[in-house]
Amino acid sequence: MRSGIAMVLLLLAMSLQADIYRSEDQSGHASFSDQPSAGAEQIQVNAATYRYKFSVRHVIDGDTLVLKNGEKVRLIGINTPEVESHYTRAEAGGEAARDWLRKKLGQAEIWLEYDAEQRDKYDRRLAHVFLPSGEYLNASLLEQGLAMLTLTPPNLRYSKTLIAAQQQAETAATGIWQRPEFQPKPLKDLSLGNDYRGWQRWQVTPRRIGESRKYINLIVSEHFVIKIAKSLQDRFPPLSQYLDQRLEVRGWLRRQGNQHFMIVQHPSAIQPR
């Protein structure tokens, strides 16, 4: 094995379960760890048996870092606003997320735990990232209001922990949840022909269900559709339950002609309102 990279076999319980502990400091700031501490709340989740130790070269942004071996790592289950680069424009909150992660990784040593898929289409490693202390950084970024939940099957191992972390930040109106750039938009504000950048929140009321070759469509209007892949439909409640309900849908808005659509991969991206 190459220098600087070590592998550890975590002998968890025979049922292959692991525990995550949530604790708060005196200022109310929460952190997540696989090590128990006084007053910590235990959250039980399914876990893999392996974690891998790496050294960090630098942080690109709040959800992407580079290992000393040159490989890029994308944190599973979250998205942070973009920072200015040759390829992207800065988004509100992007520098705050990047700087927070840089501070956390000052010691430049992490443990990576993989999920069902280990790489994305850009050949980046996909991982749950832990500090030597056991702190679970994916969840901590959400709890601080520095990231948005973006669960993508089949990488759902810590989904309950990540959902709870975002709910905490949203309830407390922390970070992005208090920024005007990330407030939900009413459908009447949809501008036909406009390309919307970045992660969005839209208030919608689906009226009927349609179908295409790959998708089941929650049709809000002739100009706005929520698309759910047929292969993922069994992860959602019966889609008829969404009809005529006030909802908030979260994700990236795409456009084809004058029709805008949002592809949703997990029920956490559709919130009742």
Where along the chain do its domains lie?
6-177, 184-272
Q: One fold for both 6-177 and 184-272? A: yes
pLDDT given for residue 27 in this prediction? 60
The CATH number of 6-177 is 2.40.50.90
pLDDT in tens, 138-167: 999 999 999 999 999 999 999 999 999 999
The residues assigned a catalytic role are: 74, 82, 124
| Two tokens, residue 228 | 């759910």
Pick the CATH number of 184-272 from 2.60.40.10, 2.40.50.140, 2.60.40.420, 2.60.260.20: 2.40.50.140
Give, for 40, the enclosing helix (H) or strand (E).
Answer: none
Looking at the predicted structure, is the pLDDT value of residue 26 above 60? yes
pLDDT tens-digit series, residues 49-87: 589 999 999 999 999 999 999 999 999 999 999 998 888
Amino acid 32: pLDDT: 65
Which pLDDT score, from 0 to 100, does residue 221 have? Answer: 97
Contact present, 225 and 202 (Cβ < 8 Å): no
Question: 25 falls in which pLDDT band (50, 70, 90)?
Answer: low
Checking if the pLDDT of 15 tops 70, the result is no
Looking at the chain, which runs of residues are DSSP E strands?
6-9, 17-24, 30-33, 41-46, 50-61, 64-67, 72-75, 78-79, 109-113, 125-130, 148-149, 185-186, 199-204, 208-211, 215-221, 224-229, 247-256, 259-263, 270-272
Is the model's pLDDT at 13 over the cut of 50? Answer: no
